[in-house]
Each structure stands twice: as structure tokens, then as C-alpha cells.
Amino acid sequence: MLMIIKKPLFIILLALCASPIIGAGTALIMGAAFAMLLGNPFAALSQKASKWLLKLAVVGLGFAVDFNQVIAVGKSSLVLTIVSITAIIGLGELLTQAFKLNRNTGVLISFGTAICGGSAIAAMAPVIKAKDHEVAVALGVVFMLNGLGLLLFPSIGHYFNLSQQQFGMWAALAIHDTSSVVGASATYGALALSIATTVKLTRAMWIIPYTALAGVYFRSEEKASIPVFIIGFVLAALINSYFPAYSSLWELINSAAKQLLVVTLFLIGSGLSVAVIKQAGFKPFLMAILLWIVVSGVILLLILDGLL
């Protein structure tokens, strides 16, 4: 009987998330609550669909971004990006040793924290020959922190009276996954969303050089490739920038992408389970939390002091 009720209820909630009445944060909470209380009746399908829908949503969001802004952000933040990514990975290595954590798990968590969460973890995993359970633990820990970031960051931003520009920068640099960065910034404002998306996806392009360096360090024959959704985002930004005559169409696509993101966040939330929490364990979660607190705290202080 419970299974019969669960399936239609899940579909109804998913349909609600496709409507404008449900926001990004609410969708994630709904999905997580449903999974924890009733269990996801479409777990495998939800996991597969969320990955593809997220990529489509990110590409669609590119239709609201000025390509010249992407280039400007990349140039202006070159030194900051290199220094911050390297520092985060270095700190992650120290914490991995301090907690006597599995090396591969520590590397994946550090890399995911430094660049862009799940995408960075997926790119690094084959390079360091990470095992399935190591990848699963890293993704589980990062996912849980993504949920916290999506819920906590807007409130913290309002508490410190951050402008939309400041919040967009902070969210992009301190929240792991692109999905949660977009979700948190979308609830803060349109300008915050634009800045956060641009900064985060510009940063995500650094997956390639850092995985290449890791390949040399770990003597791996695996080669990382740039995620296709990043290429799609850049192409969408190019189209938006150089074909302004069709701006109404680009706005329509962008609006659809925002709502698609809400649906995706519900599916991502529905992937949370007691099994994932147990598999992650205590040490990886504590290590990831300390790393995240230091990173987000330092970046917030730099923003408040006007250094970023």
C-alpha cells in the first residue's frame, strides 16, 4: 500500500516543482524529506535524470550571461583562482593526514571543495584511480554540505547585509556544486544569480589543468576532459551576446532553465538516504566540514573587508 501511495505522491511533488509556486530551496528540502521519510520509489531513475537535467539547466542559464563578462571574470580572477584552489587542496591534504583519512577520499573531497563539487570529483576520480566506494563517500559528503549551503548561505548573507554582487561572489567560491550555487544565489536575487553562475562556471574550467597536474603527480594515464555542460554554457553565453535581436527567445529559454533547475534540485534532494549518510561515516564528514568552514569563512571575511 505504501509503495502504491509513494509513486503518485512523488510524481505530484515533482510536477509542483515544475510550476512557479515552488522555489529552489523548497524543492531540495521537499526531495530530501520525501527520501528520508518514505524512500525514493524511483531512486535510480532520479539519480540519472538529475545529472542530465542539471547540465541542461546550466546550459539554459547561459542564455542570460554576457560572454564578455565571462572573459572579464576569468582574467580579473586569474591569480585569486590559482592561489585559492591550490590553498584549498593543500589544506585538504593536511586535514586528510590529520584525520588519517583514506587518501583518495581526502583528495576527492578537497578537489570538490576547491573547484565545483560533484563535477570535479567525477573528473578527478579516474585520474587517481579512486574506487567506487571512495567516490560514493566523497559525493555523499559533498552533497550533504551542498544542501546545508543552499539553506544557510542566503540567511547568512542577509545577516551580514551582503549586496547581491558580494553574495554571488561568496556563493560561487564557497559552495561546492554548481546546482547549490545557482539555487542559493537564485533565492538572493537576479544579479546574485548572474554573478554566481558566471564565477562558478569560469572556475569550473580549471578542472582540466588541475586534473592534468594530478595525473602527473599520481602517474596516471587517464586524461580529464572538459565537462560538456561548461562548453554548452559558454556557447549559450556567446549566442546571447552576439544575437541580441532574439533576446526575447533567450529570456524564455533562461526562464525555462530556472524552473528546470527547481525540478532538478527536488530530484537531487530525493537522492539523500540514511544509507548515504552511514556510508559517508564520521571522519570524512568532519574533515569536509572543517575544510568548508575555513574556506567559506576566509572568503566571507575577504569580501566584507572589500578585498574581493
What pLDDT, in 10s, does the model give residues 37-66?
888 888 888 888 887 887 788 788 778 777
Residue type for position 249 = L
- The confidence band for 277, taking pLDDT boundaries of 50, 70 and 90, is low
Cell of residue 46, nine digits: 532520479
pLDDT for 197: 81
Cell of residue 65, nine digits: 550571461
What's phi and psi for 273, nearest 5 deg? Answer: -145, 165
Check pLDDT > 70 for residue 6: yes
Report d(CA 50, CA 130) in Å as an integer: 23
How would DSSP label each residue in 80-132?
HHHHHHHHHHHHHHHHHHHTT--HHHHHHHHHHHHTTHHHHHHHHHHHTT--H
Cell of residue 213, nine digits: 597536474
**Is the pTM for the entire model greater than 0.85?**
no
22 or 289: which leads in pLDDT: 289
pLDDT for 225: 56
Q: Closest Cα partner for 56 from 218, 202, 236, 280?
A: 236
Task: Give the 3-state secondary structure of residue 305.
Answer: coil
Rg (CA), the chain: 19
pLDDT in tens, 157-172: 999 999 999 999 999 9
Per the CB < 8 A criterion, the answer to whether 120 and 107 are in contact is no
